[in-house]
Structure 1
Amino acid sequence: MDTTHTAADTAATVDVPRGLAGVVVTETALGDVRGREGFYHYRQYSAVELAERRSFEDVWHLMFRGTLPGPAERRAFLAELAPLRHLPADVQDALPGLARATALSGPLAGLRTALSLLGASAGFRPVYDLDPGRRAADALAACAAVPTLLTALHRLGQGQEPVAPRDDLPYAANYLYMLTGVEPDPVTARAVERYLISTVDHGFNASTFTARVIASTGADVAACLTGAIGALSGPLHGGAPSRALDTLDAIGTVDRIDPWIRARVRAGERIMGFGHPVYRTEDPRSRMLRGIARQFGGPLVEFATEVEARVEAILAELKPGRELHTNVEFYAGVVMELCGVPREMFTPTFCAARVVGWSANVLEQAADSKIIRPAARYVGPTPPEPVPVVTPAP
């Protein structure tokens, strides 16, 4: 049989870089990352400036509805969100068993199942079958419930009772309240809020792309977000904030910085919290979070700043010509540690923000019914080979 490929076989395929690096797969009005400039934005606004000047709910409104709300719109939006923080009884009842089942895996693993259950309980239907208003309502409900689910799973895993959400607290303060059982002070709440705003969206990263691929099939919102959470759970994506702090712990003291870093760089190991696949200059999120950390001050911040300076100097010496700076994970870990967030909740906290960006991308993708279906190059044995016939044993 002739196995030569015809022009028709290959006409629809185009070679692209591994990992789709730099490949434009769609158009978006939600935001972009300009890596060479060290700048990223949500719609037409600088993301860092939004983190400095607006609330998390304002940015949520921007991502979902296209505008920053005025006072009346903000009040209406907050009133819309408050009841959605409370979980349906059947979901609430399932959480203790789910927390036990995921005791070794943690709240992020539990969230995948809990969010699927929430979607089923709330009757989420495929986005393909829904009008834009119903899609947005499902996405809003899912986003509002994520902090409640995460904190409940964490507390149950620690042998504590979940803390019910408070309707009077803003998103970040409510998250910390449900996590610790204590209303946070305004400085701590605002520090976490600024972090959350800075991580709402960040281009077509792996989890956002995953959410959009699932949305392109017409699946329901919970399915899209569950897939995104799976992508986020990977240590090369959302799992680095606690690992960056683990690096500081492993170094321990200032006199150990240089030998520890040199040994890792020469061994070709990755230094967690440094480098980014998009930025070729300082990560603007890291710059902002460094400023927040310095407002707190203290030995951890002083040590982290010294480690940052020495790592950049050593990398410049051993890998000249490469721009390697701290990324968002490095100072995110420091800030969350200072704000009392347990390390096992660092990536879940990231998820509590990014779920809004994922959802906005799901809604945008759902408006375009074209399924995302790329191609792969087959490199296995040449087909077709005869299928061996197995002679039955006597």
Structure 2
Amino acid sequence: MTPADRISVVTAVDERLKTTSICLGVAYGARHDPPDRGGLAHVLEHLLMSAPVSGVGPLVQHIEGLGGSANAETGLEQMLFYAQVDAEDAEQVVDLLLRAVLAPELDAATLDTERAAVLQELAAAEADPMDTVQDAFLTAIFPGHPLGRPVGGTVPEIAAMDLEGVARGHRDALLSSPMALAIVGPRIPGGLQATGTASRSTGTARPAVPLGPAHPTAPAWPDEFAWVAVGGRSTGLTDENRHRYVVLANLLGGCASSVLYRELRVAAGLAYSFQAWDRGYTEAGAWRVLIGVESGNGPEAVAIVKRELDALATAGPTDTDLDAARRHARMSLLRDTETPLEHARLLASRALFHAGDWDLDSELREIATVTRDDVREAASSLRDGLVTVVRPEAK
């Protein structure tokens, strides 16, 4: 069976659209890179979108020459390759995207070019505390675990990569991974047969890696503006209880109806920019509040987060706050499904990791049925293992 034969296809047809959005998801990410070759998935993401495709040249340049847009991203457990094009070009672009990812024409010159781009990307991320604090946070809650590895790799790892090693990683790791192709447009491109629901694709199953304890440390507060992440482990991506953490994130998020907004921004005036979210992975999830704080405001801001989390763990939210948080969680999902490219990305990602068919209505119902006790249990589990990380740190 070839990789193309294993790709599950899911579509959402909307005849009102004039564009087609395409997303190929691959269940291979930074956590699957060999221990001594971190950043391999990240380099492959760049290389596969930029390597020449027979007859048209570099994929991204060709798609954007058609007037469309194309991009890719690498996470801890997945890669997404996506494009949005005129519906008349969809059949051609689907074929080119599959060829680029499944049977790339790799060469040393393109690797050198994209290696330079990746190194510039790493330099930009290293200069942005909003980026570095999130890598540091994952390292703190998943110490010594593949989930704690930086997605982009390190400069020495990227610099040491050669074409043979990258090609081997593509052949042995990426091509054996589950894949899903999502199409959102006015019709299904020719040659594709779709299920209409996101069903898990086939591929090599990877064993879970046991988790050790988290590694909380006291933050070293700097005398300047900084970003602080406060949070801990939640449940895994496919756990039936994961939506309680999503609702909890909305209770302590940056929207004006959240509990934390009232206390942190309105009452205390300690932060202008903050947000909260939960991200699920195979063994566990990562739940966090991310706050930008002025010099001197960090300790008090963290104390307010802990106080509000403790209140939710003890008494739970009020009916009004719980209803608002559930509505925001549902609206976030609805907005994604009503934006064609985001919808395609969502469908591809869900198909990679859900054992059965996924559909929007089922997930909306799961969010709507999160109770006060569910939130209390989620808040309690986080309260007992909170990790606080700040970047930049005091020198």
Question: TM-score scaled to structure 2, two decimals?
Answer: 0.28
More strand by share: 2
More helix by share: 1
Larger Rg, first or second structure (1 or 2) = 1
Question: TM-score scaled to structure 1, two decimals?
Answer: 0.28
